[in-house]
Amino acid sequence: MSLIEIRKRSLTVETTYHEGGPVTDTPLKLAAACAVIQNPYAGRYEPDLMPFMAELRKLGTLLAEELVQTLGKENIEVYSKAAIVGVNGEMEHGAVWHEAGGWAMRSVLGEPKAMVPASKAVAHTGYRLMVPVHYIHASYVRSHFNSMEVGIQDAPRPNEILFALVMGTGPRVHSRLGGLTKDKVSVHDGQR
């Protein structure tokens, strides 16, 4: 029997043309793919979450592939992941997404080196979460530090979890704060 029972999914795409300065030639697109599932452990303590984490890889792959189809694999420069656990669950029920969601994005994108940032919370229905994103090949590329809001108006219900993956096509519009730039990445260790 599957531990994954999807109630609903959503796909949100934000396109930014400017931030008060000149209109950019290449708008920034940030996209979030979300799935709301029944929490199989809501209301009780489960000592072994590993089977749940392993099964969530399929859900992660589904969401990652949807984002790649939406943005185009060759265009993706930033990524992240998030989980919002309904109030009858616990933080660890969202933490399973670190491996499952991160593994799925790396697999679909061709094994980029940078860690996948994350955000998670245990919260009420309708909660919105800001999710940090950064460059997929090196975590310290300052121009690509950004965030996107995820959430669904009627989720997660108390016995549910909302899992999200976020990808985007480039740096902040009008980024101009120096630091490491993507063309200067040289160590290829995911950091610098």
Cβ contact 80:133 at 8 Å: yes
Q: Could you tell me the domains of the chain?
A: 6-184 (3.30.1330.110)
Whole-structure pTM value: 0.96
Confirm if 89 and 164 have CB atoms less than 8 A apart.
Answer: no
**E strand or H helix at 190:** none
Specify the pLDDT at position 189.
77
As to burial, measured by CB atoms within 10 angstroms (0-12 exposed, 13-18 middle, 19+ buried), residue 12 is middle
Length of the chain: 192
105-144 pLDDT tens trace: 999 999 999 999 999 999 999 999 999 999 999 999 999 9
Q: What pLDDT score does 188 carry?
A: 77
CA distance 35 to 168: 18
Pairing relationship of beta strands 129-135 and 160-168 according to DSSP bridges: unpaired
pLDDT (tens digit per residue) in 31-65: 999 999 999 999 999 999 999 999 999 999 999 99
* Distance from C-alpha of 130 to C-alpha of 185, rounded to nearest angstrom: 27
